Amino acid sequence: MLSSTLTEQVIRLLLAAAMGAIIGLERDLTAKPAGIRTHMLVCLGACVLTMIGIYEFPLDSARIAAGVVTGIGFLGAGAIIGGQDGVHGLTTAAGIWITAAVGLAVGTGSYVVAAVSTLLVVVILFMRIDI
């Protein structure tokens, strides 16, 4: 039989992948460069690194979270493209960033924060506001 720790770790990984997919759905449906798979990988990666920090480096796990935030900043920056007609990719970059934050939340076991954040992100992404 699986230990509760192993079971919870698997649940966290599955939840992170699912929440990343939910966030990435809108990006995929609107044919943006970072879609479901990218968001799933970002969320899952942040979750894995967070769990490694918690279980392997409990006295200094905050460094892992800081490293995730920094690394995702570089990934998001790659999604931003500037040109003569303006800047593109800001929403995709922000989506990648918040997806990593959701992964961090799932990795720490903050399921309510992760679920509510995912819901808010989906609502915000599906809103079409032209100003």
> Taking residues 3-9, what's their average pLDDT?
82
Q: Which residues contact 121 (CB under 8 A, 6 or more apart)?
A: 23, 95, 98, 99, 102
Q: What is the pLDDT of residues 52-66, one digit of tens each?
A: 998 888 788 888 888
Query: How many DSSP H helices and E strands does the chain contain?
Result: 5, 2
Q: Mind listing the pLDDT tens digit for each residue in 89-127?
A: 889 999 999 999 999 999 999 999 999 999 999 999 988
Length, in residues, of the chain = 131
CB-count burial class (<10 Å; 0-12, 13-18, 19+) for 22: buried
Contact (Cβ atoms closer than 8 angstroms) between residue 104 and residue 43 = no
How far is 60 from 100, CA to CA, in rounded Å? 19
Which pair of tokens denotes residue 21?
């997919």
What residues does each domain of the chain span?
A: 4-126
